[in-house]
Amino acid sequence: MYKRVRLKDTVEVPPEELGDVSPNLVKRLLQDKLEGRMDEEVGSVVSVTDVHDIGEGTVLPNRPGVYYEAEFDAVTFDPQMQEVVDGTVVEVVEFGAFVGIGPVDGLLHVSQISDEYLAYDGENQRLASNESARALGVDDAVRARIVTKSIDERNPRDSKIGLTAKQPGLGKHGWLEDEREKREATAGE
């Protein structure tokens, strides 16, 4: 999920900054360029942490800045297929719940939440069962498994992550705690 990686990239140093091409300047330029961007190979760049090496500057025709290749460390978020993740429900809609998992949201489709039928309660922003007192709403903590992943590098907000919570050990944290307490009570009898 979160990884620390060593990367290389090129940054343009504008003419007004050429007097001080320092690791701090290059770090700031890399942060502006990369943080929040999605890449199929490394995932989403969360933070550029350290700049290790700054190469020689290159001038390109008809371009005002000087281009420097830099080697740096970054923290990335790269969700993996079948990975179990904990997150928080950020929005509930008729067809499911959007769960914040790191810097992106995943969709927990209503059919992947519970074996019980969950009806949408728009007034209270939740999905509620008619069979039991179970309900899933905004700010609820959830454990789910990543089952689909489609990364859009050009528009990271259009990336899609599909989740399921129907397997044992997955679901709303409160439901998991209730199930654990029931198992302990029956084991103690």
pLDDT, tens digit (0-9, with 9 covering 90-100), for 45-97: 899 999 999 999 999 998 999 999 999 999 998 888 999 999 999 999 999 99
150 pLDDT more than 70: yes
* 3-class DSSP string for 65-120: CEEEEEEEEEEEECCCCCCEEEEEEEEEECCEEEEEECCEEEEEEHHHCCCCCEEE
Query: Percent of the chain having pLDDT more than 70?
Result: 96
Quickly state the pLDDT bin for 183 (edges 50, 70, 90): confident
Summary mean pLDDT of the chain: 90
Domains of the chain: 2-77 (3.30.1490.120), 83-188 (2.40.50.140)
159, pLDDT greater than 80: no
Residues 65/12, Cβ–Cβ less than 8 Å: yes
Residue 13's pLDDT band (cuts 50, 70, 90): very high
Instruction: Describe the strand order of the beta sheet including 135-137 as a list of residue ranges.
Output: 118-121, 126-129, 135-137
pLDDT of 160 higher than 90? no
Whole-number pLDDT of residue 189:
65
Q: Which residue has the higher pLDDT, 20 or 109?
A: 109
Task: Provide the residue type at 46 as one letter.
Answer: V
pLDDT value at position 81? 93
The whole-number pLDDT of residue 156 equals 63
